Amino acid sequence: MGENMGQTQGNGGALYIKNLRTHFFTRNGVAPAVDDVTISIPRKGIVGVVGESGCGKSVTALSVLRLVSSPGKIVSGSIVLDGEDLVSKSPREMRQIRGNKVSMIFQEPMTSLNPVYTVGKQVVEAMILHQGAGKKEARDRAIEMFKAVGIPEAEKRFGSYPHQLSGGLRQRVMIAMAMVCRPKLMIADEPTTALDVTIEAQILHQMKELERTTDTSIMLITHNMGVVAEICDYVYVMYAGRIMEQANVFDLFDHTMHPYTTGLLNSIPRSGRGGGRLYNIKGMVPSLLNLPEGCRFRPRCEHAAPECGKFEPELYEADRGHWVRCYRYRDCGGGDME
């Protein structure tokens, strides 16, 4: 699958983000939150965008939806969804596209669901607004989708208010709302972070099943490499606004090339480590207003060499479909999985 999702591919996919730059214009300077990012998401695929908080992954997702708030602004690049460039769309056109052609699941459903309306009414309104469905048709489809995402007693839950549902059920409602209009693309921003591991596994299974049985592609935003391994086909690793590594999920885990990716993988809790401390990447993500010279990961990198501080490395195709932004990937790759 790697060669079909690589750095230069973009034709025929559900979404093609090309050379996207989204900057925040602050009093203290310009912060390049997304800095020349290219991402391709095929039809019927799950693509992960992974990295620590502050790496730019959520701003990338909000850029696709054209929901970046001031002082943020898309400076350049294109975001092509199903053949249409969203960057050139008017606010009115984007309101028709959101929830219809592209939908989003946020991390905490209680901040996205309206507490004074039943969850069923909120899902029905999405169909009436975006697809002109009649009330009965919309209700029947909403209940059908509730069942599809694993909500028990779907007819009863249809009339429930958000506070009457558990966190796992609320997240299922959000997935149902995102899927009910059969979008070309569903963006899931940390959709399981607030859930316990059992519910997380169920939600991931439902997302994988929906991708398998519909034409919807999924862009998964996460910091959790375990979640990436569970459901993603292809992965982009972001750091300080840049793509640092990208490959299909098997190559990324088996033949890790970038030391940042290695650090993320080694941070995954595993059995068999005894009572030892979890691995953590030293240091902090740099301020976007004060980026280091050369490679942006250099101050935290255990393999940094003098050349790493001179010029920022380009994204290089080190193997077929496997791209890396590192001068020393041959010396420090391999994942070092314990």
Q: Are residues 295 and 205 in the same domain?
A: yes
Q: Are residues 314 and 226 in the same domain?
A: yes
Of 182, 198, 219, the residue that ends a domain is 182
Per-residue buried b or exposed e for 181-202, using 16+ beta carbons within 10 Å of the residue's own CB:
bebbbbbbbbbbebbeeebbeb
Structural domains of the chain, count: 2
Of 182, 201, 218, the residue that ends a domain is 182
Asked if residue 161 belongs to a domain, the reply is yes
Q: Are residues 80 and 223 in the same domain?
A: yes
Average pLDDT over residues 154-162: 94
Ramachandran sector of residue 82 (left: φ over 0; alpha: ψ -120 to 50; beta: rest): left
Q: Which residues have a Cβ under 8 Å from the Cβ of 67 and sit 6 or more positions away?
A: 98
Q: What is the CATH number of the domain that holds 78?
A: 3.40.50.300
pLDDT at residue 249 greater than cutoff 60: yes
pLDDT at residue 333 greater than cutoff 90: no
- Token output for 109: 């459903």
Query: By mean pLDDT, which of 79-83, 249-253, 262-266, 268-272 is the weakest?
Result: 268-272
CB-neighbour burial class of residue 309 (10 A; exposed 0-12, middle 13-18, buried 19+):
middle
Half-sphere exposure of residue 337, counting CA atoms within 13 Å on the CB side?
A: 15
- Taking only the tens place, the pLDDT of each residue in 31-42 is 999 999 999 999
217-222 vs 242-248, strand pairing mode:
unpaired
Return the percentage of the chain with pLDDT > 90, whole number. 54
Q: Are residues 283 and 191 in the same domain?
A: yes
Q: Which 3-state string (H, E, C) describes the chain?
A: CHHHCCCCCCCCCCEEEEEEEEEEEECCEEEEEEEEEEEEECCCCEEEEECCCCCCHHHHHHHHCCCCCCCEEEEEEEEEECCEEHHHCCHHHHHHHECCCEEEECCCHHHCCCCCCCHHHHHHHHHHHHHCCCHHHHHHHHHHHHHHCCCCCHHHHHCCCHHHCCHHHHHHHHHHHHHCCCCCEEEEECCCCCCCHHHHHHHHHHHHHHHHHCCCEEEEEECCHHHHHHHCCEEEEEECCEEEEEEEHHHHHHCCCCHHHHHHHHCCCCCCCCCCCCCCCCCCCCCCCCCCCCCCCHHHCCCCCHHHHCCCCCCEEEECCEEECCCCHHHHCCCCCC
Q: To 10 degrees, what angle do helices 135-148 and 119-131 make? A: 120
**Cβ-contact 284, 326 below 8 angstroms:** no
pLDDT at residue 335 greater than cutoff 50: no
Asked if residue 91 belongs to a domain, the reply is yes
More confident residue, 56 or 210: 56
Asked if residue 149 belongs to a domain, the reply is yes
* pLDDT for the residue numbered 273: 53
Q: Are residues 283 and 205 in the same domain?
A: yes
Asked if residue 337 belongs to a domain, the reply is no
Cα torsion 246, 87, 227, 333 to 10°: value is 20
* pLDDT for the residue numbered 338: 36
CA 330, 334, 335, 338 torsion-angle sign: negative
Q: Are residues 266 and 132 in the same domain?
A: no
Asked if residue 304 belongs to a domain, the reply is yes
Q: Are residues 140 and 253 in the same domain?
A: no
- Please report which confidence band the pLDDT of residue 105 belongs to, taking 50, 70 and 90 as the band edges: confident
pLDDT at residue 180 greater than cutoff 70: yes
Cα angle for residues 174, 241, 64 (degrees, 5° grid): 40
pLDDT at residue 190 greater than cutoff 90: no
Cα torsion 115, 122, 103, 85 to 10°: value is -110
Residue 13 CA to residue 81 CA, distance in Å, equals 8
Query: Domain range for residue 173?
Result: 102-182
Q: Are residues 58 and 196 in the same domain?
A: yes
Q: Are residues 222 and 157 in the same domain?
A: no
- Please report which confidence band the pLDDT of residue 210 belongs to, taking 50, 70 and 90 as the band edges: confident
Of 164, 182, 200, the residue that ends a domain is 182
Q: Are residues 84 and 226 in the same domain?
A: yes
Q: Are residues 65 and 127 in the same domain?
A: no
Which of 241, 237, 222, 235 is CA-nearest to residue 63?
A: 241
Asked if residue 338 belongs to a domain, the reply is no
CB-neighbour burial class of residue 82 (10 A; exposed 0-12, middle 13-18, buried 19+):
middle
Asked if residue 195 belongs to a domain, the reply is yes
Q: Are residues 53 and 18 in the same domain?
A: yes
